């Protein structure tokens, strides 16, 4: 791997991690700590953004690999988070015994995440020439 590519991914990851923190913290502030809304929102938003990016890359934009991977692998990889999702699910189901909330969280994360990806693809198709 080349050093510029690795550095690009690292910079994208730093921006994505800070973005995740800001969005998740704000959503939790607005909606409360009783349900992992912050993680749910960043994962759905990240799925939407990945859909927009994938369609844009397929149709009209061919950035250099360093920029492409800085956004896709670095930013979006750090912005979304499966590990936090797993911990939130563990907390809901195992520690708090809220099985219904845990089930709703899994279903919402998967269904809304895939739907957001599809909507991102569709949104990009509407905007792109």
Residue of 107, 60, 54 lying closest to 76 (CA atoms): 54
Domain boundaries, the chain: 3-127
> Which of left, alpha, beta for 61 (phi over 0: left; psi -120 to 50: alpha)?
beta
- Give tens-digit pLDDT for 82-126: 988 998 999 999 999 999 999 999 999 999 999 999 999 999 999
What's the pTM? 0.88
Residue pLDDT, tens place only, 56-86: 999 999 999 999 999 999 999 999 989 889 9
């Amino acid at each position: 791997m080349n050093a510029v590519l690795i550095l690009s991914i690292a910079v994208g990851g730093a921006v994505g991690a800070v973005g995740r923190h800001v969005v998740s913290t704000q959503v939790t502030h607005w909606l409360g700590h009783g349900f992992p809304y912050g993680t749910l929102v960043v994962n759905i938003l990240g799925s939407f953004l990945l859909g927009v990016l994938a369609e844009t890359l397929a149709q009209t934009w061919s950035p250099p690999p360093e920029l492409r991977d800085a956004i896709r692998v670095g930013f979006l990889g750090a912005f979304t988070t499966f590990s936090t999702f797993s911990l939130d699910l563990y907390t809901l189901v195992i520690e708090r015994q809220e099985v219904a909330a845990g089930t709703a969280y899994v279903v919402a994360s998967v269904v809304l995440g895939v739907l957001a990806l599809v909507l991102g693809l569709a949104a990009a198709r509407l905007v792109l020439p």
